[in-house]
Each structure stands twice: as C-alpha cells, then as structure tokens.
Amino acid sequence: MNNIKYCSFPETPKAALAWLLSRKAEALAVAGGTLVAKTLPETVENFVNLKNLPLDYIKKQGADLVIGAMATFDDIDNSKLVRGWAGGTISGAAARCSSQLIRNMATIGGNIARPHSFNIFPAVLMGLDARVRVLSRIGVKTYLFSDIYGGDFKLRPGRDCLILDVIIPGKTRNWVCRFEKFAKTEASWEAYFTLFMAAAVKGGVVKEVRISVGALSPKPFRAQAAEKALSGGKLTSGVVDAAALEFARDLDGVRASEFKKEAASSLFKRFLNGI
C-alpha cells in the first residue's frame, strides 16, 4: 500500500467517475474494501473511496427490485423487501457470505465488480436474470448481469466505470428459489461450490428454470443442459433423474471432482423434489 498517494471521497457517482478517469494518477474505486485492499495493483496511486455515495438504497421500482451498489450484505439480509422476494433466497444468500464483520462492510456492487470464484452474488444474480446499471464516460447504460461477465464487456468496474445498482425483474418475485453454499463452515468465504436454483411452475409444468453454479470457476455459469431437460416438462421422477444426469454433465465442463458433482447433484435433486 506504499504506492497510494491520494485518497478521494467523492459524494456523487459523477465525481467518483471523474476521479477514476483522471490522468493525474491511476485510480481504483473502493466500496467495502474487504477484498480489493488485499489485491491492490502496485500501479494504483489513488483510492477512490465510495462510502459517501448515495447508493445504499433498496427499493421497489415498478415491479422490479432495485438494490444500490453500496448496500451491504447486512442491509440486504435485513431488508423486509428483499426477504419477501423469491422466498427470501436473496437475503438468505447474503447471510451466508462470511462473518458478521464482513457482512457489515461488503457491498453488493463490490461483490460483483471483479469476478472471483467465492463471491456470493454473481451466481444468484445470474440465476435471477438481473440487470446492472453502469455509469461510464458514455453515460448510464443498463446491461444484463451475464453480459458484464462476458468477454465482450470491455469496461472495468471500479477502474473506468461504476456500478450504480442491480435490478432484479419483477417476474422473479414469486419464483421458487434456493441457494446452497457447500463449504466447511457457514462462515467460510471459500466454498466447494455455490448453487442457485429457481423455477416458475404452473399447473405442474416448469415454465421457467434457472440453475447457476459458482465457486467452480472465477465466473459463475448456467447449467444449460439441465435447464433444457426441465423446461416445459412436468417434474416426474424420470424428468428429475434425466435433469440430474444433464446437470452432472454440465459440471464436467469445468472439470468438477466426483465429490463436488455428487454433492451438487444431490442438492439439485432435493430442490426439484421439494417444488
């Protein structure tokens, strides 16, 4: 940290972006600071501290749930609005991040700004078809969450753009969802895998289904073969078994160990049988 020469405390997103884009010194945005301070590039000379930005809101906007980038894991865990969404799965995921001290500091924006295997929210947001509002030099633009983790997304959150908030579409409010973090202890940041599962079922038929997996690679991924096996069908024992087989094949794509595949497949089948 001896390379830090400046520390900025902007009070608006535009002011924060101006510091990031300034040519005076290479800058990096800091939200909760639970991870970035440990991995600070030696070339960075300016900490742009985001704590004064008015981005810690959690609100309903139209039919959608909107969570500001500076909302902490604890804010999300204790929000009545979030607890009433998707069966409380989003708040439940926030509660399983790490220790209480970390949950008091870590923000949802910081958790998704840079891909890391053990970050909690990427798998959850990918499974909820979330969108992300981003401020850059071209203004404010909304992206699919999956797009900001794609190879075509050239912006670098916290370096040349800012995440403003996360938008979770209203259609997911009544989805049947479940989040699983398979780790040594509840407070462990590291996990063998994380698993987010969601389904919209009507008349016994699966209308929509999302299965996203984290911790097995730096970026989460959708188990698309398993989703295809379930979509449009009834949850018979045969369909569940076939989907579980496809799910195991999805995990083969990231070379998951047999132990992880067996554990993840068991939790996947438990979710489907409980719908």
CA distance 272 to 89: 16
| Superfamily covering domain 174-274 | CO dehydrogenase flavoprotein, C-terminal domain (3.30.390.50)
Looking at 14-28, 32-46, 135-149, 185-199, which range is the least confident one? 32-46
What is the largest distance, in Å, between two alpha-carbon atoms of the chain? 63
Share above pLDDT 90 across residues of the chain, in percent, rounded to a whole number: 77
Confidence at residue 234, expressed as pLDDT on a 0 to 100 scale: 94
pLDDT, one tens digit per residue, over 36-50 is: 666 667 777 888 999
Residue 17: which pLDDT band, with cuts at 50, 70 and 90?
very high
pLDDT, one tens digit per residue, over 158-177 is: 999 999 999 999 999 999 99
pLDDT, one tens digit per residue, over 242-259 is: 999 999 999 998 989 999
Confidence at residue 39, expressed as pLDDT on a 0 to 100 scale: 66
Position 132, amino acid:
V
**Residue with the larger pLDDT of the pair 25 and 140:** 140
Q: Which residue has the tokens 């510091």?
A: 19
CATH topology of domain 58-171: 3.30.465
Tell which residue, 147, 143, 123, has the closest CA to residue 134.
Answer: 143
In the sheet where 162-168 sits, what is the strand order? 58-61, 64-68, 162-168, 131-136, 139-144
Could you tell me the residue ranges of all domains in the chain?
6-49, 58-171, 174-274
pLDDT, one tens digit per residue, over 51-95 is: 999 999 999 999 999 999 999 999 999 999 999 999 999 999 999
Spatial contact of 165 and 70, defined as CB atoms under 8 Å apart: no
Confidence at residue 3, expressed as pLDDT on a 0 to 100 scale: 73
- Pairing state between β 139-144 and 162-168: unpaired
State pTM to two decimals: 0.93
Looking at 97-106, 136-145, 188-197, which range is the least confident one? 97-106
- Pairing state between β 6-8 and 205-214: unpaired
Averaged pLDDT for residues 87-115: 92
Would you say residue 233 has pLDDT above 80? yes
Tell which residue, 69, 172, 82, has the closest CA to residue 128.
Answer: 172
Confidence at residue 38, expressed as pLDDT on a 0 to 100 scale: 63
What is the secondary structure of 68-88 as a DSSP string? ETT-BHHHHHH-HHHHTSGGG
Confidence at residue 44, expressed as pLDDT on a 0 to 100 scale: 77
Which burial class, exposed, middle or buried, applies to 258 when counting CB atoms under 10 A from its CB (0-12, 13-18, 19+)? exposed
* 93 CB-near residues (< 8 Å, 6+ apart): 120, 121, 124, 179, 181, 196
Averaged pLDDT for residues 140-158: 93
Confidence at residue 1, expressed as pLDDT on a 0 to 100 scale: 57
Confidence at residue 136, expressed as pLDDT on a 0 to 100 scale: 97
Spatial contact of 112 and 218, defined as CB atoms under 8 Å apart: no
Main-chain dihedrals φ then ψ at residue 133, nearest 5 degrees: -90, 130
| HSE value, Cβ hemisphere, 13 Å, CA-based, for 237 | 0
